[in-house]
Structure 1
Amino acid sequence: MMNIKLFISTALILLSTLLFSQNENANQVQVTKFNAHITELTTEKTALITENKSLNEEITKLKAELNKAKKEASSSQKEISEKNEDIINKMEKDKETGKLAKKRDKAVKKNEKQMKEVNQLTNKLKKKEQQLDKNNKKIVGIDKQVEKINNKIKKLSAK
């Protein structure tokens, strides 16, 4: 009778030890999965940060180009205004008027090209800034995911 009680007590101790061990292993597997997910998210975040650095450089260059193009367009608009004043002041002289009109027309074409370049650079800059904003939002999302996973790991580790 004593042997049976001893056997049953030993079996219960072994069974509870086995169950505790399996629970620990399950928690460890979950922690490993969470760590792998964090690594994956961190890799994605690093790639986005690298892309953002590149985008910031491109945006800086585009802003400089845009400012230069705006200055050139502004100066050619002043030139057009000056030519128009000259045309008005020298209407009596047909030859000069024709030459000035041609110069003005050239200046207008040049200004149209410059304004087109300004618009293209503005659009390109907007796209880069939108991509930068999108990447920053992704980074924030990844940081939140990592924080949630870390909290889960802390809870599992505390058990």
Structure 2
Amino acid sequence: MSLEGKIAIVTGGARGIGAGIVRSLSKEGAKVAFNYVSSSSNAAADSLVDELRRANREVVSIQANVTDASRPNAIIQATLAAFKTDHIDILVNNAGLGDNRPLEEVTLEVYTRLMDVNVKAVIFMTQAVLPFTRRGGRIINLSSISARGGYPTQSVYAASKAAVEA
């Protein structure tokens, strides 16, 4: 599949599955922007950018927390500016947070953090990108088998992933 000339955004793209998605989209010819949250991911983000640029790929990293209501639009604007374009072809909502604790140990803080990263960020990142997505564009939301399973230590995590699937 050729994605030559397509513009993509991957949330949570500095490490793990997200970095793999960034590499795959880039390899297929897409210009890829990805975000990461914490300064502890700076080195991983820089390394990924360097790796892909050495392979003559167009890639940019953006430090931004997608749970902050103002950041989805900032990520989009940074992407548009970096690639000198007015549209986004692909959005991959990959940023996610896991938690493996029994329901009895879930606090309001844990619940809020999981729902903010795994649900709120997907909804508002998608909402922000819609005006910039042309016919034929793609929005991909990553979930988990936990959305459909009954795992005793993943009640809130499973609920957040089920919300993404819904």
TM bucket by the smaller chain? under 0.3
TM-score norm. by structure 2 comes to 0.25
Compare relative contact order (CA 8 Å, sep 6+) and give the higher one, 1 or 2: 1
Q: Which has the higher helix share?
A: 1
Instruction: Name the one with the larger strand percent.
Output: 2
Bigger Rg, structure 1 or 2? 1
